[in-house]
């Protein structure tokens, strides 16, 4: 970048920064440290979100470039698996079931393969979630492990750790999710992708409803450290360390 262009944008950035924070200090006065704290959390949350998006973008680019090679290797592995004696016997003994399964994994059956894998993952996830929920409701040993792990993590808390996890919590806050839902919804509406828009809104509405229903069903109290503010937790951790 030319030196003059760099200095111009650098000066404009400095002016904007000074004007914004000077105005905030003038308006909020004594509440500026608290506001600065929340701005720092929001900035860290934004950095984590950008890093996630960039990571997904690079991962998708790598997959797009190597898709043909991955498909070819997958087909070779699949052919080797099909050539095993056990599967050959199953193919002869259960021809209809074998045909159904083979169609699910055929290269041309794109939608069938994705729906089958999605169904298997969904059923496995529901089974795992149901087992954990049952353990929590009946206060099985899993809940004791949860509390032990919570105490261990809280006893080794650091300022950087609090900042990171506060930022992660901010990413999942109702305000952040509402802004995300509204932004993506407007984008899909502008592109007239009504089916995706309906699925997107239904996912958010269903997630919120499921969250409230599970809270009513499980009725497990929040961890004792969940309501502690960052500053108070720092002070408590410092006292314990002493």
pLDDT band for position 234 (cuts 50, 70, 90): very low
pLDDT at position 12 is: 93
Same domain, 170 and 242: yes
pLDDT band for position 230 (cuts 50, 70, 90): very low
Same domain, 55 and 85: no
Q: Is the pLDDT of residue 231 over 50?
A: no
Q: What percent of the chain has pLDDT over 90?
A: 6
pLDDT band for position 222 (cuts 50, 70, 90): confident
Range of the domain at 95: 66-108
Most confident of 3-12, 69-78, 127-136, 229-238: 3-12
Asked if residue 59 is part of any domain, the answer here is yes
Same domain, 58 and 89: no
Same domain, 181 and 233: yes
In the listed set 76, 108, 140, which residue is the last one of a domain according to the structure? 108
Mean pLDDT of 88-92: 79
Range scoring the smallest mean pLDDT among 8-17, 45-54, 97-106, 152-161: 97-106
Handedness of CA 161, 167, 170, 171 (dihedral sign): negative
Asked if residue 191 is part of any domain, the answer here is yes
Determine contact, residues 185/197, Cβ cutoff 8 Å: yes
pLDDT band for position 8 (cuts 50, 70, 90): very high
Asked if residue 42 is part of any domain, the answer here is yes
Same domain, 166 and 242: yes
Asked if residue 120 is part of any domain, the answer here is no
Asked if residue 153 is part of any domain, the answer here is no
Same domain, 20 and 87: no
Q: CB under 8 Å to 90, separation ≥6 — which residues?
A: 98
* Residue 171 CA: distances (Å) to CA of 19, 174, 225: 27, 9, 19
Q: Is the pLDDT of residue 228 over 50?
A: no
pLDDT band for position 7 (cuts 50, 70, 90): very high
Same domain, 27 and 94: no
Cα distance between residue 214 and residue 204, in whole Å: 15
Tokens representing residue 2 in the block = 């030319």
Asked if residue 228 is part of any domain, the answer here is yes
Tokens representing residue 198 in the block = 């309906």
pLDDT band for position 32 (cuts 50, 70, 90): low
pLDDT band for position 236 (cuts 50, 70, 90): very low
Asked if residue 239 is part of any domain, the answer here is yes
pLDDT at position 27 is: 72
pLDDT at position 110 is: 58
Same domain, 19 and 52: yes
What is the distance in angstroms between the CA of the first residue and the CA of the last residue of the chain? 51
Determine contact, residues 201/185, Cβ cutoff 8 Å: yes
Q: Is the pLDDT of residue 241 over 70?
A: no
Same domain, 59 and 73: no
Same domain, 58 and 73: no
pLDDT at position 111 is: 63
Same domain, 36 and 74: no
**pTM of the predicted protein model:** 0.45
pLDDT band for position 146 (cuts 50, 70, 90): confident
Cα distance between residue 88 and residue 96, in whole Å: 14
In the chain, the number of structural domains is 3
Same domain, 32 and 77: no
Asked if residue 146 is part of any domain, the answer here is no
């Amino acid at each position: 970048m030319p030196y003059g262009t760099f200095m111009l944008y650098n000066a404009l950035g400095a002016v904007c920064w000074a004007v914004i924070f000077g105005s905030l200090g003038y308006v909020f006065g004594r509440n500026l440290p608290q506001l600065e704290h929340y701005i720092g959390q929001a900035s860290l949350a934004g950095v984590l979100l950008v890093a996630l998006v960039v990571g997904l973008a690079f991962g998708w680019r790598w997959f797009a470039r190597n898709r043909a090679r991955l498909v070819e290797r997958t087909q070779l592995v699949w052919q080797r698996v099909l050539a095993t004696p056990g599967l050959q016997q199953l193919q002869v003994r259960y021809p209809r079931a074998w045909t159904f399964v083979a169609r699910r994994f055929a290269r041309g059956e794109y939608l069938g393969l994705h729906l089958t894998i999605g169904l298997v993952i969904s059923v496995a996830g529901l089974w795992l979630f149901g087992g954990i929920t049952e353990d929590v409701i009946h206060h099985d040993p899993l809940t004791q492990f949860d509390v032990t792990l919570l105490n261990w993590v809280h006893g080794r808390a650091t300022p950087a750790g609090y900042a990171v996890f506060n930022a992660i919590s901010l990413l999942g806050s109702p305000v952040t999710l509402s802004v995300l839902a509204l932004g993506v919804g407007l984008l899909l509406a502008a592109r007239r992708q009504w089916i995706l828009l309906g699925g997107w809104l239904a996912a958010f509405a269903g997630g919120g409803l499921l969250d409230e229903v599970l809270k009513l069903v499980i009725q497990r109290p929040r961890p004792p450290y969940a309501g502690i503010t960052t500053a108070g937790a720092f002070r408590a951790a410092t006292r314990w360390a002493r």
